[in-house]
Amino acid sequence: MDEKVTSEAPPAGERGCFFCQTAKPLLEHLWSEVTVNHFRSSRIEFLKGLRSLIDDRIAYLSREAEPKGTHVTVE
């Protein structure tokens, strides 16, 4: 089962994402490999920043939670 993946634009009657169908291919031809790598790295760092914010919020909410169970003194 050999299927070829092509990057051809959809027929004129079909709708597609403007960015995926027009802008992205245009930018790929205009930007150098160094520029593409820079923007890819920046997207990764942005996502790492979001992950850090989420991790901090989880840690904050975990400290604030009431301890489960009750304390019993054994004589």
Segment 13-71, tens digit of pLDDT = 567 888 888 888 887 788 888 988 998 999 999 999 999 999 999 999 888 666 677 77
CA–CA dist 30, 11 (Å, integer): 24
pTM, full prediction: 0.49
Number of domains in the chain: 1
Name the residue range of residue 41's domain.
18-64
Domain for residue 33, yes or no? yes
Domain for residue 7, yes or no? no
Domain for residue 69, yes or no? no
The helix or strand, by DSSP H or E, that contains position 48, with its residue range, turns out to be helix 33-64
Domain for residue 44, yes or no? yes
CB within 8 Å of 34: residues ≥ 6 apart? none
